[in-house]
């Protein structure tokens, strides 16, 4: 994924927000729209690509929020991109764990008792069931592993549809 494309996608939205602000939109409304449009574009499907982003890529994405704060389009104490991604991961994992209707819910079991006879109490950790093997993972790794086939495809399709006009590509042809 090209992070320079990702960090330049919100530019048109930022320009529109500046115009709205000059025409009298309140600061609170501008902040809400900034978060709903610009920040949403930055962290879209982040669970699938965040681990592959370099430190420079992450700085570039954070720079968009810093520019929003500096220009008054964003709240002064806005969360960092990293905090937003972690929050989104936590929310997704919680939703998968507790929503029985979620498509990934069946891949995660409540607990797995380890059969080690150590002095420490037994661990109860979520795990992913797979036809080939059973492995213990950290809680967030389960969701990312389960989503790895679906989210990159959706992310790619969304980025193509967003960037097509900028690249002169017609998706209707």
The vertex-93 CA angle with 39 and 37, nearest 5°, equals 15
**Domain of residue 70, residue span:** 3-78
Residue 132 pLDDT greater than 50, yes or no: no
Query: What is the overall mean pLDDT for the chain?
Result: 74
Tokens of 77: 């104490």
Task: Count up the domains in the chain and report the number.
Answer: 1
- CB of 3 closer than 8 Å to CB of 53: yes
pLDDT confidence of residue 26: 93
The vertex-80 CA angle with 74 and 81, nearest 5°, equals 100
| Structural domain contains residue 145 | no
| Structural domain contains residue 39 | yes
Report, as an integer, the average pLDDT of 22-49.
90
Helices (H) and strands (E) in the chain, counts: 9, 3
| Structural domain contains residue 10 | yes
| Structural domain contains residue 143 | no
- Three-class SS state of 68: helix
| Structural domain contains residue 12 | yes
Which pTM does this prediction carry? 0.55
pLDDT confidence of residue 10: 73
Q: What are phi and psi of 77, to 5 degrees?
A: -110, 50
């Amino acid at each position: 994924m090209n992070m320079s494309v990702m960090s330049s996608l919100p530019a048109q939205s930022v320009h529109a927000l500046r115009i709205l602000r000059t025409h009298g939109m309140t600061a609170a409304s501008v902040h809400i729209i900034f978060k709903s449009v610009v920040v949403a574009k930055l962290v879209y499907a982040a669970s699938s690509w965040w681990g592959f982003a370099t430190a420079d890529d992450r700085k570039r994405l954070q720079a968009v929020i810093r520019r929003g704060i500096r220009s008054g389009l964003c709240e002064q104490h806005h969360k960092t991109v990293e905090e937003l991604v972690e929050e989104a991961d936590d929310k997704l994992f919680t939703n998968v764990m507790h929503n029985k209707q979620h498509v990934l819910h069946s891949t995660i079991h409540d607990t797995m008792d380890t059969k080690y006879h150590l002095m420490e109490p037994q661990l109860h950790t979520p795990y992913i069931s797979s036809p080939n093997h059973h492995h213990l993972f950290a809680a967030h790794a389960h969701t990312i592993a389960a989503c790895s086939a679906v989210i990159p495809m959706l992310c790619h399709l969304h980025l193509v549809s967003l960037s097509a006009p900028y690249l002169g590509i017609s998706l209707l042809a």
